[in-house]
Structure 1
Amino acid sequence: MTQVLDATRDRSGGYKVDVSRGERIGRVSSEWFSRPADERYLSLSELFAAVQIRTERSRTRTVESAAIRVEASRDDAERLSLVLPGKDTPIIPTHWSFGQLASLVGAPTAYLRQLPAPLAGINLQYGLASHRAEQVKTLETEDGRIELRAVTGPDYGRIFDHELVAAVQRIAGNGTGDTRWKVPGVLEWSTRVYHPHVDVTKDTTTLYASDRDVFLFLVDDLNPIEAGRLPDGSPDV
């Protein structure tokens, strides 16, 4: 909880707080600091539209692990691709899905990543061919090229990012103040005054999504919960 030093709001609607109290969530500031401009969104509607397009470009299917063919070229020591049953178009594994495939056949992922693609391909192909055949579910995304995003068990239940955003929208609307839940305001560190009413811009937003994840942070900062009174009689919120 944060101690409100002066419950009377100034003309801008801000109020003074004691930042030494309460809990600091470092994940939020880390996301704010690291996200590039093209991963920042100004509303939940805008975010939903972006991640829905990604879902529309994705597909899942179930294949036999032993039927996966690994291809690598001597001309490109770093490029390794896969050919899945029913489609001849090469699929490029991501860092994550390559690790999942290696784990599936019991191969040391870190070691395979250090090898030239042809050698890594030989080892991975041997593992897929000799390992007990089983069904796996793949997640593939096409955006200029086809990427293998994930390899899981056939019964794996996936929640797509647009489904998560849609669930939040049912509670928070557009996330810009049309409901109680909104993008946070800004703390003016020099005066320790928190301003809940600010324009949502690329610099102030807390709605993020890359080509493989989504991160949302919303607050109900206009309706703080008063837990009691501090020794000086001011509200403890």
Structure 2
Amino acid sequence: MTQVEVLSDGRDDVGGYKVDVTRGNRVGRVSSEWFSRPADERYLSLSDLYAAVHRRTERSRTRTVESAAIRVEASRDDAERLALTLPGSDAPIAPTHWSFGQLAGLVGAPAAYLRQLPAPLAGINLQYGLTSRSAEQVKTLEIEDGRVELRAVTGPEYGRIFDDELVAAVQRIAGNGTGDTRWKVPGVLDWSTGVYNPHVDISQDTTTLYASDRDVFLFLVDDLNPIEAGRLRDGSPDLYFRGFYCWNSEVGAKTLGMASFYLRAVCQNRNLWGVEDFEEITIRHSKYAASRFAQEAAPALASFANSSSRPFVNGIRAARETIVARTDDDRGEFLRKRGFSKTETAKIIERVFSEEGRKPESVFDFVQGITAVARGKIHQDARLDLEARAKKLLDRAA
């Protein structure tokens, strides 16, 4: 594994690192997960997370059946409960909230409306939809835990990747995710001092390892090994850390994917600050999803985890050293040639001046100005467009 030198001159007295989060991009994906996860979906280690998702994999089975052969049953004694009988099985199967929605979508019925109906009436509607449509095959995911539940109903070509497969792939590079390897649950930025502290206890409030009955999401950083890529205006090192997050749903709620990047800090709300070099891979759960995961996503994750930071550092340094404008006319021409409007050009130059105390000269200056303007965009599409254009500039300078 490539070793990255820990920079002692970037530390403060308590072992944290002074960082400049006004640079780079802010990524809110992890924060959205952090806000939405209840306590029973938060795990304090990768081993705990793996044990939970692996147990349900062991109790699960999949099969392909004809949709028209599914029988919907409802009891007059329990107006709230529906049960299904699948071909080849006599035992009733209870649909989960998620699989009920998938079944409703299969027959073209609004799930929210069906849930408001008494179970017998909802059952009649579902049964009519299943038997009146042309016969088609569906793939089911069932789990037995005291009773048999139907967790998912998908198309027959659905390429299921179980959540424990993704967690196991992360464990191979990150161990327990608690500091036993270089990859761990992140620390916290102290906004009052601008110091990022990687030494924070993992708790329900700080963990970034999540799993529900529908999905899994993991975020880890290498924040004990900071990377210096140039200097700040005051002469202190501009420090970065490596990070990645990945996600999956074995029931069809979302794609499988991973994102890798360099970042400067993570705050208490789990927003990522000062993000650079963001790369993302997504894999739809199509017929060949499992082979794509084995051939693309898992190796890409391992490659990023074990790779040298040298190309990233060299790219940042090249962008800092590449002077492209020395006068106001040069600055305006440089940005307008790259598709920026007169208004955008003025805002970019002004942001660099307000944050750096001078007007932009290097490619890196312009990139930081563009990303600073992007952070102020309310609409996501506009923000992502500016961030992509900034990354394109940075890549060309590398």
TM-score of the two chains, using structure 2 as the length reference: 0.54
- Give 1:44 deviation, angstroms: 1.1
SS, match of residue 222 in structure 1: strand
Structure 1 equivalent of residue 174 of structure 2: 172
Secondary structure, aligned partner of 1:151: strand
8 Å CA contact retained: 1:137, 1:153: yes
After alignment, is 188-197 or 140-149 more displaced? 188-197
3-state SS, counterpart of residue 224 of structure 1: strand
Determine the C-alpha separation between the residues in 2 that align with 1:106 and 1:178.
Answer: 50
Map Cα deviations across residues 29-52 of structure 1 (whole Å, 9 max, x no partner).
343344344332222122111111
Find the counterpart in structure 2 of residue 3 from structure 1. Answer: none
* Contact map agreement 1:7 1:16 (CA 8 A) in 2: no
Structure 2 gap segments, 5+ residues each? 1-7, 240-398
From 70, 79, 82, the counterpart of 1:68:
70
Point out the more displaced range, 210-219 or 155-164: 210-219
What CA deviation, in whole Å up to 9, does each residue of 1:51-92 have, x standing for no partner? 110111111111111110001122322211111111121111
Q: 1:26 to 1:135 in 2, by over 3 A?
A: same
Equivalent in the alignment of 2:213 = 211
Structure 1 position 7, deviation (Å): 5.3
Per-residue CA distance 1:81-106 (angstroms, 9 max, x = gap): 11111112111112221122122222
Equivalent position to 1:82, from 63, 84, 90? 84
Q: Report the counterpart of residue 49 of structure 2 in structure 1.
A: 47
Q: CA deviation at 1:184?
A: 0.4
1:160 to 159, 162, 165: 162
Hey, what does 1:220 align to over in structure 2? 222
Secondary structure at 1:220's aligned position in 2?
strand
Contact map agreement 1:93 1:148 (CA 8 A) in 2: yes
Question: What amino acid is the match of 1:130?
Answer: S
- State the aligned residue count: 232
| Corresponding residue for residue 25 of structure 1 | 27
Identity over the aligned pairs, expressed in percent? Answer: 85
Following TM superposition, by how much is the alpha carbon of 1:108 offset from its aligned partner in structure 2, in angstroms? Answer: 3.0
Q: Which amino acid aligns with 1:214?
A: V
Q: Name stretches of at least 5 consecutive residues in structure 1 with no aligned partner.
A: 1-5
- The answer (yes or no) to whether the contact 2:231–2:238 under 8 Å persists in 1 is yes
Question: Relative to 1, partners in 2 of residues 1:202 and 1:108: Cα closer, same or farther, differing over 3 Å?
Answer: closer
Answer 1 or 2: higher relative contact order, Cα 8 Å, separation at least 6. 1
Q: d(CA) in 2 for partners of 1:45 and 1:109?
A: 36
Partner residue in 1 for 2:95: 93
Task: Flag the structure with higher helix content.
Answer: 2
Q: Partners in 2 of 1:189 and 1:107 — Cα distance?
A: 49
Q: Name whichever of 159-168 and 200-209 sits farther off.
A: 200-209
* Counterpart in the other structure of 1:191: 193
Which letter maps to 1:59?
Answer: R
- Offset, 1:215: 1.6
Contact 2:17 2:197 in 1 (8 A): yes
Looking at structure 2, the residues matched to 231 and 193 of structure 1 have their Cα atoms a distance apart, in angstroms, of 17
1:206 partner letter: T
d(CA) in 1 for partners of 2:104 and 2:202?
Answer: 43
Aligned residue for 2:367? Answer: none
TM-score scaled to structure 1, two decimals? Answer: 0.87
236 and 8 in structure 1: CA distance in 2 versus 1, 3 angstrom threshold? closer
Question: Which of 23-32 and 69-78 deviates more?
Answer: 23-32
Which deviates more from structure 2 when the two are superposed, residues 118-127 or residues 173-182? 173-182
| Partner secondary structure for residue 208 of structure 1 | strand
